[in-house]
Structure 1
Amino acid sequence: MDCDTLIVFSRIDNIELFEKHVNENLTQSSVDYFNDYIRPQTEEQVKAWFDKQVYLALGILLSACAQMGIDSTPMEGVEPENYDKILNQTDYATIMAVAIGYRDPEDKNQPSKNPKSRKDLSDVVESI
């Protein structure tokens, strides 16, 4: 509720619009990759591929924030349909949001005040 910035990550929901963008803006090899490997899949599979591309962008944002000492909290449990209404999105679909800013020193959830519990590495990793 008190973050400095909220970033909403959405995937394109209109495959025809995406194809138009690909054909107009990307290299021929990228166009060929999409047409040969992604487009032949079902609509559901294509949109799942779109989702995965958004998660790649999320990873870069979170890494960049950490590098700059900015706190970030990814939130997948948002209400996508409500975000889409608020943002008046018709050709895109909300996937997740990220709150970024600087932590409240009084927040009880900080690791220094409420340490996270972790299993021993040997309990989750097996050397073969």
Structure 2
Amino acid sequence: MNIIEKLEWRYATKSFDENAILTENKINTLIQAFNLTATSYGLQPIKLIVIQDKEFQHELMQHAMNQKQIVQASHLLVFCIQTAIDKHFVNEYFNRVHAIRQTPKDILQPFEDFLINDFENKSQKDIDAWATNQAYLAMGNLMTVCAMESVDACPMEGFLPDKFDEALQLKEKGLKSVLLMPVGYRAQDDKFAAFKKVRKNIEDAVIKW
């Protein structure tokens, strides 16, 4: 299949085959794709939690509107944002740039100073909103990668972040959960797999200038 055929094949999976488990290679591909996702300024204010523990998935399901995909899926991916986007966080990024690219620090310093000042003047609410946008970018990227890898996925916003944060001890890690995505393989009796996609006509969705 080409990329368009793969995107036609994918859908928000409503029922997973509980006995079909993703290989380590598949999971590692998703992990690497997450880490390669483009983010604003390249700062990566996001983290991914990969859960493969049926008992724990059952516990978490009650905090996600009892959506059965949480338990049925091979793995549950939890997209998180980092809450402390401060001078230390920005310094760490520019240290990586210097170490990996060997860019002289005097060249990097003006941009580093700009970002430190910019984030110091943002409210926590604005920082969280900015970071959450990066999590959506990562989820969109992973949904496409899943399709290319013939892995089924279901993006989810319907859950109680505070309860997930508590269960995963995220506050202690300086994180907040913002999105969920169960991944695995569709159940053969999931009728939604055969439904035709409902999309606008291309000319109604795209303007060519």
Same fold (TM over 0.5): yes
Say whether residues 1:115 and 2:183 are aligned partners. Answer: no
Alpha-carbon contact 2:90-2:116 (below 8 Å) kept: no
The equivalent residue for 2:90 is 22
Compared with structure 1, are the counterparts of its residues 74 and 13 closer, same or farther at alpha carbon in structure 2 (3 Å cutoff)? Answer: same
1:96 is aligned to 2:166? no
Distance 1:109 1:39, change over 3 A: same
Superposed CA RMSD in Å reads 2.3
Task: Please identify which structure carries the higher strand content.
Answer: 1
- Does the alignment pair 1:12 with 2:75? no
1:80 corresponding residue in structure 2:
161
Q: TM-score, length-normalised on structure 2? A: 0.51
Q: Contact 2:151 / 2:185 at 8 angstroms: preserved in 1?
A: yes
Task: Give the C-alpha shift of residue 120 in structure 1.
Answer: 3.4
2:113 aligns to what?
Answer: 32
**Ranges in structure 1 where 5+ consecutive residues have no aligned partner:** none
Structure 1: which 4+ aligned runs deviate by more than 6 Å? none
Between 1:86-95 and 1:40-49, the stretch displaced more is: 40-49
- Answer whether contact 2:83 2:175 (CA < 8 A) is retained: yes
1:3 maps to what in 2?
73
User: Deviation at 1:102?
Assistant: 1.0
Give the letter aligned to residue 24 of structure 1: E
Query: What's the % identity of the aligned pairs?
Result: 29
With over 3 angstroms needed to count, the CA separation of the structure-2 counterparts of 1:81 and 1:71, relative to structure 1, is: same
Q: TM-score, normalised by structure 1?
A: 0.79
Structure-2 residue corresponding to 1:42: 123
Number of aligned residue pairs? 124
Consecutive unaligned residues of structure 2, counting only runs of 5 or more, are 1-67, 96-104
